């Protein structure tokens, strides 16, 4: 399915589940080549699309991928069957459960491709059901639930579909995000809950209306998908109150690996704002070293999970699947540690670690320090080739509106990290940019940031 946010997307998700289909979303911002790759890799035979935007695109995809036999359009189309008219031609009948087992595949979702060729994550009906049960048990949904969908329904926002319906809630869907449109919808419809990725929250905080918009109806702002700046999170809590609820997961084990409840966002414990919550009691989790053994208390290790929440594997990638499940655990690729209160802190992704002068530097820790500076809106810390140190720490910074980068600010940022983390962690250089590139799902694209500095080198480490 490829479509912008519209009600028929949700109806189609329900239809696929009722019929026992295997669904694969295409990101609306993806390229023709990206979409063709996914259709071939997932062995898609039917493409559902929004004809107001993707009529010609759908035809090109069918021409590129012969396996796509059926085009179903959300309305009149020059290329495919009018799906809505077709639906109107059927007589309503009692629902009959599809002939599926819990371990049958319900969806194949492709990773963002930040580590090479995108992998098709195969999720079972058991996984989807289990995730929903944990959401209903753990997540703090308002009793009077009016849910504003501001992110693409093709990705994480769709995970709110069943829980919100089970809670008797209503959806209010934005077709495109902007701070003004967001604040308008919250005020007009007295929205009580929403889901945001961190970069969207930063835009809201920096908007002229941030301090004057009426957010009094808001009870829960769910956030996740990428690390949140503790400094910006504090700013948001001070502005809008204790309404933030964090979820942590990944495509291979979605949404509910860890959760941080609203009142656990404790401003008297600033270090906690850098955590992603407590591990879910329903999801077995361990921090393992490179030999697959549990790390010592307080030490960092790879976050590994198992149980009903984890994927079946990567489609047609047995070696990658075996690597992901080494030792009987799903290896998330995230490095984390548990603090004395049992909160999980993501130190970094294993592939993002910088080795400088023989010392390991985790970019997330440096980014957290830099975002405390009032001049910084967003930052990505990467390792760049360095003749002396092997790799040098570089900060790529987006400044707040009206602020210009200069030598004095650069020196200030370097000193700030040196004071907080030591000289090894301090950036050797700072670049100021207008924007940090994002992946199709809204995460900072470290691969794209690194590419500018590593050029055509054969290795990504130095």
Residue matched to tokens 């504003």? 148
What is the structure's pLDDT at 421?
83
Average pLDDT, the chain: 92
Q: Are strands 193-196 and 146-149 parallel, antiparallel or unpaired?
A: parallel
- pLDDT tops 50 at residue 179: yes
What is the structure's pLDDT at 175?
85
- pLDDT tops 60 at residue 142: yes
- pLDDT tops 70 at residue 460: no
CB proximity list for 86: less than 8 A, separation 6 or greater: 72
Distance of alpha carbon 108 from alpha carbon 122, whole angstroms: 5
What is the structure's pLDDT at 357?
76
Task: Among 25-39, 88-102, 122-136, name the most confident range.
Answer: 122-136
CB proximity list for 28: less than 8 A, separation 6 or greater: 2, 3, 4, 53, 54, 152, 154
What is the structure's pLDDT at 113?
43
Q: Which CATH number fits domain 353-454: 3.30.70.260, 3.40.50.2300, 3.30.300.30, 1.10.150.20?
A: 3.30.300.30
Q: Which of 371, 359, 332 is nearest to 348 (CA)?
A: 332
Instruction: Kindly calculate the radius of gyration of the chain based on its CA atoms and give it in whole angstroms.
Output: 23
Where do the domains of the chain lie?
7-99, 126-349, 353-454
Task: Among 149-158, 307-316, 364-373, name the most confident range.
Answer: 307-316
What is the mean predicted confidence (pLDDT) over 331-354? Answer: 88
What is the mean predicted confidence (pLDDT) over 71-97? Answer: 94
What is the structure's pLDDT at 459?
59
What is the structure's pLDDT at 461?
66
- Residue 55 burial (CB count, 10 A): 18
**pTM, full prediction:** 0.82
Instruction: Provide the pLDDT confidence category of residue 455 given band limits of 50, 70 and 90.
Output: confident
Residue 119 zone, left/alpha/beta (φ > 0; ψ -120 to 50; rest): beta
Tens of pLDDT, residues 368-424: 999 999 999 999 999 998 877 888 999 999 999 999 999 999 999 999 999 888 888
Q: Residue 4 has which token pair? A: 């912008």
Q: SS3 of 439, please?
A: coil
- pLDDT tops 80 at residue 41: yes
- What DSSP designation does 251 have? T
What is the mean predicted confidence (pLDDT) over 196-224? Answer: 94
- Residue 367 burial (CB count, 10 A): 22
Number of helices (H), then strands (E), belonging to the chain: the values are: 13, 22
Distance of alpha carbon 160 from alpha carbon 64, whole angstroms: 33
- pLDDT tops 90 at residue 336: yes
Distance of alpha carbon 394 from alpha carbon 450, whole angstroms: 10
Instruction: Provide the pLDDT confidence category of residue 351 given band limits of 50, 70 and 90.
Output: confident
Distance of alpha carbon 137 from alpha carbon 167, whole angstroms: 11
Distance of alpha carbon 367 from alpha carbon 381, whole angstroms: 6
CA 266 to chain centre: 24
What is the structure's pLDDT at 343?
97
Structure-model confidence comparison of residues 349 and 454, the more confident one: 454
Using a pLDDT cut of 70, give the percent of the chain over it. 97
What is the mean predicted confidence (pLDDT) over 81-85? Answer: 97
DSSP bridge pairs for 29: none
Cα→Cα distances 195→28, 161, 219, 221, Å:
19, 12, 12, 6
Give just the sign of the alpha carbon dihedral 299, 300, 301, 306. positive
Distance of alpha carbon 215 from alpha carbon 191, whole angstroms: 8
In this structure, the chain runs to a length of 462
Q: Which of 255, 265, 190, 191 is nearest to 234 (CA)?
A: 265
Q: Topology of domain 126-349, per CATH? A: Rossmann fold (3.40.50)
Task: Among 67-81, 195-209, 347-361, name the most confident range.
Answer: 67-81
- pLDDT tops 90 at residue 114: no
């Amino acid at each position: 399915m490829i479509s912008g946010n519209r009600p028929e997307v949700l109806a189609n998700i329900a239809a696929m589940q009722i019929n026992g289909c295997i669904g694969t979303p295409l990101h609306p911002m993806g390229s023709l080549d990206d979409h063709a790759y996914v259709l071939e890799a997932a062995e898609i035979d039917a493409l559902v699309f929004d004809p107001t935007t993707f009529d010609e695109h759908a035809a090109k995809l069918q021409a590129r991928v012969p396996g796509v036999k059926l085009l179903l359009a959300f309305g009149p189309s020059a290329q495919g069957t009018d799906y809505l008219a077709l639906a109107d031609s059927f007589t309503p009948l009692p629902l009959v459960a599809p002939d599926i087992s819990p371990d049958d595949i319900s969806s194949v979702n492709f990773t963002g491709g930040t580590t090479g060729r995108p992998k098709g994550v195969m999720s079972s009906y058991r996984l989807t059901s289990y995730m929903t049960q944990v959401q209903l048990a753990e997540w703090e949904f308002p009793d009077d639930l009016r849910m504003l969908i501001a992110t693409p329904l093709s990705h994480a926002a769709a995970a709110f579909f069943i829980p919100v319906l089970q809670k008797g809630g209503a959806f209010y869907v934005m077709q495109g995000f902007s701070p003004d449109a967001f604040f308008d919808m919250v005020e007009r419809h007295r929205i009580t809950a929403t889901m945001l990725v961190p970069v969207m929250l930063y835009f809201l905080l920096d908007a002229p209306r941030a301090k004057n918009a009426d957010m009094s109806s808001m009870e829960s702002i769910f956030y996740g998908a990428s690390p949140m700046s503790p400094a910006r999170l504090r700013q948001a809590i001070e502005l809008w109150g204790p309404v933030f609820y964090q979820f942590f997961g990944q495509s291979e084990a979605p949404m509910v690996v860890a959760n941080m409840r609203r009142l656990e966002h404790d401003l008297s414990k600033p270090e906690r704002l850098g955590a992603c919550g407590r591990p879910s009691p329903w999801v077995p989790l361990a921090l393992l070293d490179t030999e697959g053994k549990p790390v010592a208390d307080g030490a960092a290790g790879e976050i590994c999970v198992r149980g009903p929440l984890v994927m079946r594997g990567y489609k047609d990638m047995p070696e990658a699947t075996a690597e992901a499940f080494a030792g009987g655990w799903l290896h998330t690729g995230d490095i984390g540690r548990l603090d004395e209160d049992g909160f999980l802190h993501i130190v970094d992704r294993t592939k993002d670690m910088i080795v400088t002068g023989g010392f390991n530097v985790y970019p997330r820790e440096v980014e957290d320090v830099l975002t405390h500076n009032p001049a910084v809106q967003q930052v990505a810390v990467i390792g760049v080739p360095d003749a002396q140190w092997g790799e040098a720490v570089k900060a790529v910074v987006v400044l707040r509106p009206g602020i210009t980068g200069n030598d004095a600010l650069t020196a200030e940022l370097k000193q700030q990290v040196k004071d907080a983390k030591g000289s090894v962690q301090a950036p050797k250089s700072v670049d100021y940019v207008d924007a940090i590139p994002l992946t199709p799902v809204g995460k900072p694209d470290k691969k794209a940031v690194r590419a500018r500095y590593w050029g055509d080198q054969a290795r990504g480490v130095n």
